Structure 1
Amino acid sequence: DYGWLAALDVPAVLMERRPRPGSALHAMDSVCSDHAYGVHLAVQHLVGLGHRRIVFATRDDSPTARTLRSACARIADAHPLVEEWAWALCAPEAGQDGPYTAQETAELAALLRKVGATAAVLHGDVDALMLVQRLADNGVRVPGDCSVVAYDDVVAGLGTTPLTAVAPPKAEVGRAAAELLLQRLGAPRGGGGPVRRTELLPTLSVRGSTRAWAGVIE
């Protein structure tokens, strides 16, 4: 789509996409959620509850999914209280680029046992709800044996156990992009000020799927 977008003769604003540096779209306005901050919120919440070993299960089939995967690795590696972590696909069909290692396609319950993890961050809501059910089928209780944070928060609160979730500000991203586009449309051609990169921060809603790990004072 880069060539088509670059050839437009009307103002345009990208939403939830960051143009590649040096590409034809590098000078195009964009409005995005700061997904790295969303991962930070999830990890800080879990670490604050005493969890030190975390599994991340995300999709890997879109720019947002790959941003999340990269952020999970970077934040977990750098956090002084995360002792061990691992990443896996939330479902075999959730990745396109492969090939993946056996661990990266492992069943979540098996990976939790291998890592000794007591918490998981799961992307997105529907996959998270299905994974929680699969954990239950394998004798892993949420939050008794494993605390879970979902990433998306569209239907995360509708499960039998409502899931703690990170919520990207989707409506606000759309609103900010529309306002910027209207500003561009109302300005003289070539005017309207410098190109903008706008990032909005996600929020965390704490529900029933996370709790303090044994031995940690709440």
Structure 2
Amino acid sequence: MTSSPTPHRRARLPRWTAALAAGLLAAAALLVPALPAAAHDELVSTDPSADAVLDALPAQITFTFSADVLTDAGATVVEVKDASGASLADGAPEVSGTTVTQSLAGAASGAVSVVWRVVSSDGHPISGDFAFTVPAAAPTPSATPTTTTPTASPTPSATSAPSADPTSSATAAPVDEASAPSPLPWILLAVILVIVAGVLVYVFASRSGRKTAGGGTAGR
């Protein structure tokens, strides 16, 4: 009497294989939120620029941003003060696309501080500050009585080289250059996915081999 063939037992995944696959998938899930998010808008330039030395107080300050600035009421604030703390802002700032303009009025000498805040196109508020310098005005000489006296004819004098007029120095505006996102998280995620795929392919290949071997034994 021949015994009935023993039913082929279904191959089970080794515990270490299942644990490894679960760990790799968990690591991939943790990496995804850590991928660099889109950067917020930023200040590109200002006129006058930071640390500039000017001959006089400009009529306005112009800010240029990397994207449109929201025009909601109270969203844009610009404060301009002289060395004594007196406000130099003339009215509210005007917003037009990527440009914000703040008119100035008054006389200033010394350091002029500028503090700004806007709401970028993604709804995130951004702010910053910088300063420029307006030299103190030279005192006006008082008028003094003069007497007319005979003078000798002017003699030729050595000419001196004309002195260069002081000019305002223009320096680049402080721009927070957003560093390029690091590709490391993407590389790690790709490696993890490749490992998980390799483990799954190996497991399914092993199961197929066991089924084939079991089928051949049963046929004998």
Would you call these one fold, judging by a TM-score over 0.5? Answer: no
Larger Rg: 2
The TM-score with structure 2 as length reference comes to 0.25
Larger helix fraction of residues: 1
